[in-house]
Amino acid sequence: MKETLSSVQKLSAHPDSRCWSVRWNPAGTLLASCGGDKTVRIWGREGGSWTCKGVLQDGHQRTVRKVAWSPCGNYLASASFDATTCIWKKKNDDFESLTVLEGHENEVKCVAWAPSGNLLATCSRDKSVWIWEVDEEDDYECVTVINSHTQDVKHVAWHPNQELLASASYDNNICVYKEEDDDWECCATLKGHTSTVWSLCFDAAGRRLASCSDDCTVKIWKEDPSQSTQDLSWKCVCTLSGYHGRTVYDVDWCARTGALATACGDDGVRVFKEEDGSDPEQPVFCLAAQVTRAHGQDVNCVSWNPKEAGLLASCSDDGEIGIWQFHEEQ
């Protein structure tokens, strides 16, 4: 392999607990992390290295499972096992708690902002997906509750430029939703994984989805216009199997380079690249680089920096964050 994934820095981010999630702000200057210690931490670059710029505590009573930045970068949302989602507002170099979104019956597993910044989605072990509308006064109102899944919903992700939402579940399926006559509806159910779907991510154009699962595979799904009359249709065009030794917990598709990163329960971080000139109906993805012992325990999350090509953050059950640089072949 001519590509490499090299370690830039390791941060002891959430000592004595899990680090569940890491997310870059849209400017790529700050990294937010969260974990089993009930806190959210903000990391920024100082000189050549990354350091902790702030600790957001007292927002949650239990584990903080995931964090998400608003498209403008001024707000941060945190989803917690305490059944709430906190919205934090950036004030100069600090964050203050703006509001707490309540309503889910139990653990909130994920939160995501729509590209417009006017909508927010949350999902929970209570099997539902909620969509919230944000007005100019920073007021949040739940506009719909969707019950398309039959089990625990693990992840939600918005399309990069449309108001199209996708969710992944313990029921092995992926659902895609859009607004229809003032109501949100499930317009496609993607079946193919044989166990829990842990995460999913659109590509830069939004025409494809990558999903990862407890079945140790990653699948690439493509919009299928031939099938679509009214309903959207997606088909699986590629399955990456044989690369991951255990559950694949997260997948992130780099909007700048098209590289696909995965976080795995076998402690490894892997980067896949699509082969040049491969058939769009049957794309071929190759393992470009991997670090098999990237962390001391399971890797929970991977996130590409939106501005600096190849800069990747990962985090693990051992409480650490890893910062990596993916070097492409010249």
Partner 1 sequence: MSGGTHLENANPIIFQRTGERLLTATDEDENVHDPIDDREIFDLIRTINDPEHPLSLEELNVVEQVRVKVNDGESTVDIEFTPTIPHCSMATLIGLSIKVKLLRCLPSRFKIDVHITPGTHASEEAVNKQLADKERVAAALENSSLLEVVNQCLSIRSH
For residues 60 and 208, which CB has a smaller minimum distance to partner 1 in the complex? 60
297 binds partner 1 (CB under 8 A): yes
Residues 304 and 314: beta-carbon distance below 8 Å = no
In the numeric block, which tokens belong to residue 248?
């694949």
Question: In whole angstroms, how close is the CB of 114 to partner 1 at the nearest point?
Answer: 25
Report the site for partner 1 in 204-243 (rule: CB under 8 A).
Answer: 214
Q: Looking at 318, 320, 323, 326, which residue binds partner 1 (CB under 8 A)? A: 318
Burial 133-147 (b: 16+ CB within 10 A, else e): ebeeeeebeeebebe
Shortest CB 213 distance to partner 1, Å = 12
Residue 31 CB, shortest distance to partner 1, in Å, is 22
Per CB under 8 A, 63 contacts partner 1: yes
Q: Which is nearer to partner 1, 274 or 298 (CB)?
A: 298
Residue 246 sits in the site that holds partner 1 (CB under 8 A): yes
Total residues contacting partner 1 (rule CB under 8 A)? 25
For residue 81, state whether it binds partner 1 (rule: CB under 8 A). yes
Residue indicated by tokens 């305490």? 82
195 binds partner 1 (CB under 8 A): yes
Distance CA 313, CA 170 (A): 25
Instruction: Choose which of 191, 296, 308, 327 interacts with partner 1 (CB under 8 A).
Output: 296
CB 236 within 8 A of CB 221: yes
Q: Give CA–CA dist 68/32, Å, rounded.
A: 8
Interface with partner 1 (CB under 8 A), residue from 32, 36, 130, 244: 36
**C-alpha of 155 from chain center:** 7
Region of 68-76, 105-113, 159-167, 176-184 interacting with partner 1 (CB under 8 A): 105-113
Q: Provide the 8-state DSSP code for 268.
A: -
Compute the distance between CA of residue 34 and CA of residue 86 in angstroms, rounded to an integer.
Answer: 12
Q: Which of 298, 304, 305, 315 binds partner 1 (CB under 8 A)?
A: 298
Instruction: Give dist(CA 60, CA 48) in Å, integer.
Output: 32
| Residue 154 contacts partner 1 per CB under 8 A | yes
Which single residue is written with the structure tokens 């012992």?
293
Task: Check: CB of residue 170 under 8 Å from CB of residue 155.
Answer: no
| DSSP H or E segment with residue 53 | strand 49-56
Establish if 152 lies at the interface with partner 1 (CB under 8 A): yes
Longest dimension (CA), the chain: 55
- Of 57-65, 142-150, 199-207, 224-232, the segment contacting partner 1 by CB under 8 A is 57-65
| Residues that bind partner 1 in the complex, under the rule CB under 8 A | 18, 36, 62-63, 65, 81, 106-107, 109, 125, 152, 154, 170, 195-196, 214, 246-247, 265-266, 296-298, 317-318
